[in-house]
Structure 1
Amino acid sequence: MLYLLKTKSDHILIFINNLNNIIFSSTALQTYAWVIFACGLAVLLVICALYVITLRSAVKHWRDQMHHVAVVLSIYPIVAASALVMIVVPRSRLPAEAVSQEAVMVALYHFFCLVIAECGGTEQLVRSAGGADLETRVMPCCCWPCCVIPRPKLHKASLMWLRCLVLQIPIVQGIIYFILIVIWSEDFMLYQSIFVYFQPFVAASILSGMWGVVMCVRAAISVGRAPRPRFLVVQLVLIIVKLQCGLAKSVPNMANLSCVMNLHPAVFASLINNSIMMLEMLLISIWAWRVYSSPPGKDMEKVQRDRVVVAVLEDNMRSIEVKSIKDGIDNKSFNNNVPEN
């Protein structure tokens, strides 16, 4: 029978292999398997319902930017669905992780576009900034010792540079994960041996892209916008899918764990991590619903207060300069009037 399946199609063998994987996982978990699967499916349905509800609430305030909002909010059901797939089929961890992480990277770029659109577009943002400097010494670059990154003027060229910096995240991450999935499907041992060499490129791409997003958020705040709450609900998902999942992978290697219910420690750690991740997506979805149900904030009082502070500082500097010049003139006049012996 297996010979006939091989000669007919290799895809049937792959399906049988995955089916055996599901059966083994459910058998090892015994009666807990179907409870976990049912609870995971229920949580996923609630997250999908929250996604629709949040979109209906957001259309009142972001009608012109709804395509950006829809992409940003879609990360919660996508990440939750990927976590459920990893719970049901443990061997699908790498493809499911690639889907969830790529969704977050695409959402970061659309969040950048949403912030620019909220500020009225590139030209309006430049006019509102009034020749202000682009704050470049922000996370994660502000953590470097002796950070001496220059602060260019906020104009179209600098915003285009920020856009390219953010756009490279989904492109670079997609290429890296495509290469890893191809290697993983061909030779799992080779994948395990070279996986660590890709991590510096992954980290450099994400950190540089996040640097661009944070600079964009700072620029929007400087002109009276308040995108920080919406940035946090995206940033938390990035932390979960990268740092939390990375820690869950390293726990079985750092500690000598025994098998639990006939499950390998790595599979059990992945099960716990994905279950927690689904609950986290549910909580963040509720938070995102509250954030996007309210209109975009405008902290114009802060902008006016900052401008007053700057004006006061400039007046003080002028008065100090005038006083120093006057004192210098008085001293010179006094020295000229002193009689010589």
Structure 2
Amino acid sequence: MDLLSEGSSEPRILAARHLSGKTLPETNNAVNTTLSCYNYSLTPDVASYVAALGSYAWVTWACAALVLAVICTLYVCTLRAARQHWKMCSSNVAVLVAVYPVVAAASLVAIIVPRACVICEALAQQIVMIALYHFFCMILAECGGQDKLVRMSDETHWQTRVLPCCCWPCCVLPQPLIKARNLTWLRYTILQIPIVQGLIYFVILVLWAEDMSLYLKNYTFIQPLIGFSILFGMWGVIMCVRTVETFGIRPRPRFLAVQLVLLIVKLQYGSVKSVTGYFELPCVMSLHPAVFVNLVQNCVIILEMLVLSLWAQRLYSAAPGKPAAGRGAPPPAPDWKEGFENKSFK
């Protein structure tokens, strides 16, 4: 075996006799590209990211920004309709509908700056948690307030045996009457979601800022706490929805519009993260597979927020209890007001 550049003062490169000087740099570049691609703790900066994507970067950013502008326009149109038809809870509707442009904007930032992916994910999930509490407040406002809900409930019981508790045969929960004290505890059950999730996201961001490997190692152990908080709060929201449906109020389509966003920012994010962990994917355009998968995922999320924004605009374009334009009238709801006024309290 011979040594090339033996008498030179330049940095020496060891190579076999059959390797020529032209193929050696190409081999080194391929090795360096592979090592840089599969180093999971090294996320690309914007300059390297744009250089890897080339012209696709500007096309992707322009299309995503255009869709975000459409979502923001739909948000303004929905707010105008809400001020007309949902005066008693227009502020709650504003927060609920704001979920779609905020999540889409967070996805756009993650598309442009890959290193901000964790921060954008935390922001998207936190806005959904806040929206769940405002959805509960909107139901109370639609019922006329907490005091009126307690008065009109009479002998109505809380529907406690709902998801996720109804899935366990050993989970037998009492069904208490609707009282002010029980309603307060229900409020705390739902209010803990944004508070607990916000604290957990703060810890996650601290771990991520300290070291990416530390964040990845501990993220699995934090997931059970996140899941318990969300399931506990969702149990309260579903229980409230099922209970007020006995009064003729139909909040389930609006709840589904928020619930789908929760599934997107939680289950979809988690499943996409597991793809690169369980499967060996090739590098795409000199990018780590996780970076490219996150790019595709955020583009899909923006399109999903566009579809949900269109649906939300239809949901809030009519007064509560009335069908939106272009939809058939639902079956008549029971007239609980008439029954309540005819009751005797002697």
TM over 0.5: yes
Q: Which amino acid aligns with 2:282?
A: S
Q: Measure, in 2, the Cα distance between the counterparts of 1:110 and 1:304.
A: 26
- 1:61 CA drift (Å): 1.3
**Shift in Å at residue 161 of structure 1?**
1.0
Deviations 1:73-116 (A, max 9, x none): 11100000000111111111111111111000001001100001
In the alignment, is the contact (CA less than 8 A) between 1:180 and 1:191 conserved in 2? yes
1:156 and 1:131 map into 2 onto residues whose CA distance is 13
Question: RMSD in angstroms over aligned alpha carbons?
Answer: 2.0
**Pairing 1:160–2:184 present:** yes
Describe the superposition over 1:28-49 as per-residue Cα deviations: whole angstroms up to 9, x where unpaired. Answer: 1111110000001001111011
- Aligned positions of 1:36-75 closer than 5 A: 36-75=60-99
Contact 2:44 2:114 (8 Å CA) reproduced: no
Query: Is 2:144 aligned against 1:120?
Result: yes
2:45 to 3, 17, 21: 21
Deviation digits for residues 151-202 of structure 1, max 9, x if unmatched? 1111111111110000000000000010111121112221111111111110
Equivalent position amino acid for 1:140 in 2 = P
**Counterparts of 2:283 and 2:111, CA distance in 1:** 17
Unaligned regions of 5+ residues in structure 2, if any? 1-42, 323-329, 340-346
Q: Is 1:129 the equivalent of 2:156?
A: no
Q: Which residue of structure 1 aligns with residue 222 of structure 2?
A: 198
Q: In 1, distance between residues paired with 2:249 and 2:157?
A: 17
Name the amino acid aligned to 1:49: T
Separation (CA, whole Å) in 2 of partners of 1:302 and 1:87: 46
- Is structure 2 residue 63 aligned with structure 1 residue 32? no
User: Counterpart in 2 of 1:148?
Assistant: 172
* Superposition map of 1:1-341 within 5 A: 21-297=45-321, 301-303=332-334
| In 2: Cα distance, 1:219 partner to 1:300 partner | 19
Gaps (5+ residues) in structure 1?
1-18, 309-341
Note the alpha carbon deviations across 1:246-304, whole angstroms, 9 max, x for none: 11111011111000111111011111111000000000000000000011117895435
Which whole-Å CA distance do the structure 2 matches of 1:22 and 1:61 have between them?
A: 45
Paired letter, 2:64: G
User: Which residue pairs with 1:7 in the alignment?
Assistant: none
Quick one: which amino acid aligns to residue 164 of structure 2? P
Q: Which amino acid aligns with 2:269?
A: C
SS of 1:259's partner is coil
- Alpha-carbon distance between aligned partners in 2 of 1:286 and 1:68, rounded to the nearest angstrom: 18
CA contact (8 A) 1:126 1:156 kept: yes
Amino acid at match of 1:155: K
Contact 2:126 2:197 in 1 (8 A): yes
Question: CA contact under 8 A between 1:54 and 1:293: conserved in structure 2?
Answer: yes
**Offset, 1:147:** 2.7
Determine the C-alpha separation between the residues in 2 that align with 1:219 and 1:61. Answer: 23
Q: 1:203 to 1:180 in 2, by over 3 A?
A: same
Could you tell me which residue of structure 2 aligns to residue 13 of structure 1? none
Amino acid at match of 2:334: V
Could you tell me the TM-score, scaled by structure 2's length?
Answer: 0.80
8 Å contact from structure 2 (residues 44, 115) kept in 1 = no
Query: Does the 8 Å contact 1:224/1:300 carry over to 2?
Result: no
SS where residue 293 of structure 1 aligns? Answer: coil
Could you say what secondary structure the match of 1:150 adopts?
coil
Q: Which position in structure 1 is the counterpart of 2:38?
A: none
C-alpha displacement of 1:146: 2.7
Q: Is residue 282–residue 289 contact of structure 2 (8 Å, CA) maintained in 1?
A: yes
Percent of aligned positions that are identical? 52
Aligned residues: 290
The residue type equivalent to 2:106 in the other structure is S
- Describe the SS at the equivalent of 1:59: helix
Partner of 1:332: none
Write 1 or 2 for the structure with the bigger share of helix: 1
Residue in 2 aligned with 1:318?
none
Taking structure 1 as the reference length, what is the TM-score of the superposition? 0.82
- C-alpha distance in structure 1 between counterparts of 2:243 and 2:147, whole Å: 13
Cα 1:20/1:133, change in 2 over 3 Å: closer
